[in-house]
Structure 1
């Protein structure tokens, strides 16, 4: 089965940039109408038409440039803002001081907002507000050059406010929309993974699990070494059933070191007819490295049970979630260990418990407590801080 994989956010971003391109074109038409209506009162009418030509040329170029994701970098955004600010500042030379003081609109009118929208789509609220601040400063500079700062009317003030609102609101909405599309993409991916898992589970159930169950049954009937083989087959059958029965977790949108991973599925993977794993109903999250080390320590403890506990030994794994730390205990009903056995093993160079369990937990800043007595089984309690 083949599936097409699309990068999250790609379709929505393309639609947003197309919307900005449409706005550029419509705003250019509006600016052309305003310039045509007011050119007779300009101090330099030819300058107004020249600015309109620059705006038209940049609009044609920007629409093509922003349509290519590879070119939507800082350089293009800076050039977009610089052209908008330049056309805005040209108003001080083309218009008369009296017209500027009377509140006549700037040459590009609302066309400059396209740069604010581009910055907001590219970088969210912060970049959108930054672009609005730069163009607002250029707008105020027009009045300063014309000597009409004291006569700045409500039209100029309203334009500045609208620029800030465009950068803030559009930037915020764009971020929310991209996050929503990313969550939708993850949900679709999770659904596809679940369906694939169910398909594989059906095939495994019809083949592998049935064979393992038959080996377990026949091994028990034959006895001897075949019984041990049957017991191992039963353990693998239970582990495989647990694996295909668990639901896949949703993939994260971005790597988040603070969120960590859920420790529960790592431990329940060790469940078998001879190993019972009990975990809380809610997630128990640890940093990925810490969770892997805890799981490896539990695996080492269970391996010791299999090697030293005898063929009929059972083990119980209990995960407890505390506010400041987590505790994992591994208890078995094997023969236990006499006093001093661990120290003798370490002195003889057998470092299974010392390194695989105590060493791992100590590296995480935790501690290990081992309670054992000959003939009474063993309990290993590992406590790891969050």
Structure 2
């Protein structure tokens, strides 16, 4: 859309150049300095070519170039008093650039939005008032129209840019959703069915096969979580419950509010990954018979997720000693992940009393 706006601005600049050229060529014999009028026309034509080429390149759409654009229009307006006669000016004759001077105002609006458009319009309008040496009714009307053009043009540009961004985000979301669904179908028809079969047969056979079945079941749960997790919504949010519910298993209970718990995508994904790491620690260290409970609490401004187990637990200083020894599993996968997402993580445990991991993020 931005490229289209610049093309429209270039078309406006060219059309108004033709109009200004027609007026200058028609009235040049009545100027105090006819050659000055032709010189002004040459400047407008040259700057039109330069500005059109410059604004076509994103690298040149900088503040200095836009300011130079406005200054050229201001100089041409002020130069009208030197080229034209005082009688013509006092009787309301147009400035040399006429409506061509509005092109830099549009460039300001496209580049910087309403405030930049207003600033450009104010500069051009001030030059117009100085050139007239009085605020006549037609001058006042022109100033008002120019100010409205700058503000409204900038506002429309901002709306259009935001709409374009939203459309692109929705398109990416739809593409990501379609790809996720395709992968999920393929995984379900192959890997998940095999893991489910191994898990079921392992439990039926018992013995060492039961442990193999348990591991296959855990792999199945993790893989289902991966393929079922929804992509970020168009608003940049994720529904936290949808990310955590796939963790539910035979020994894992997931509970939460009845309604949705939306969070910014980065925070929701960090919590889900931290919960997955905590449950993985339960499976590895809490004991074969340990159960875990995941509780989601939405307090409005704060969302808290706790992961509690009834396993063996560990000493209070064990995590600190693990960090000193260079074992950073919990420090990185849980605490560090939550810190990077702007949240906090607290791990509480004692021997024989299980472990609780509390994750908190602020909306």
CA contact (8 A) 1:239 1:270 kept: yes
Q: Measured at CA, do residues 61 and 154 of structure 1 come closer, stay the same or move farther in structure 2, by a change above 3 Å? A: same
CA distance in 2, matches of 1:365, 1:285: 12
The answer to whether 1:25 aligns with 2:2 is no
Q: TM-score, normalised by structure 1?
A: 0.79
Q: Which residue of 2 aligns with 1:133?
A: 122
RMSD: 3.4
The answer to whether 1:206 aligns with 2:224 is no
CA contact (8 A) 2:192 2:220 kept: yes
CA distance in 2, matches of 1:288, 1:245: 17
Aligned length: 354
Q: Which residue of 1 aligns with 2:79?
A: 90
Can you list the C-alpha shifts for 1:118-153, whole angstroms capped at 9, x where unaligned? 11111111111111111112112213xxxx43xx31
Using the TM superposition, give the Cα deviation of residue 350 of structure 1 relative to its aligned residue in structure 2, in angstroms: 6.1
Q: Measured at CA, do residues 323 and 187 of structure 1 come closer, stay the same or move farther in structure 2, by a change above 3 Å? A: closer
Worse-superposed segment, 109-118 or 77-86: 77-86
The answer to whether 1:327 aligns with 2:316 is no
Can you list the C-alpha shifts for 1:331-379, whole angstroms capped at 9, x where unaligned? 3344x66xxx6348579x46799x759x9499889685858895xx646
1:342 to 305, 308, 315: 315
Worse-superposed segment, 321-330 or 227-236: 321-330
Q: Measured at CA, do residues 331 and 20 of structure 1 come closer, stay the same or move farther in structure 2, by a change above 3 Å? A: same
CA distance in 2, matches of 1:365, 1:200: 31
1:113 to 102, 107, 117: 102
Using the TM superposition, give the Cα deviation of residue 193 of structure 1 relative to its aligned residue in structure 2, in angstroms: 1.0
Worse-superposed segment, 364-373 or 120-129: 364-373
Q: Measured at CA, do residues 14 and 39 of structure 1 come closer, stay the same or move farther in structure 2, by a change above 3 Å? A: same
Q: Structure 1, unaligned stretches of length 5 or more?
A: 1-11, 253-258
1:313 to 290, 313, 330: 290
CA contact (8 A) 1:329 1:379 kept: no
Q: Which residue of 2 aligns with 1:238?
A: 221
CA distance in 2, matches of 1:304, 1:167: 60
CA distance in 1, matches of 2:97, 2:317: 86
Q: Which residue of 1 aligns with 2:260?
A: 282
Q: Measured at CA, do residues 324 and 73 of structure 1 come closer, stay the same or move farther in structure 2, by a change above 3 Å? A: closer
Using the TM superposition, give the Cα deviation of residue 206 of structure 1 relative to its aligned residue in structure 2, in angstroms: 1.6
Using the TM superposition, give the Cα deviation of residue 226 of structure 1 relative to its aligned residue in structure 2, in angstroms: 1.3
Q: Measured at CA, do residues 26 and 188 of structure 1 come closer, stay the same or move farther in structure 2, by a change above 3 Å? A: same
Worse-superposed segment, 310-319 or 204-213: 310-319
Q: Which residue of 2 aligns with 1:255?
A: none
2:112 to 113, 123, 126: 123
Q: Which residue of 2 aligns with 1:165?
A: 148
CA distance in 1, matches of 2:230, 2:265: 21
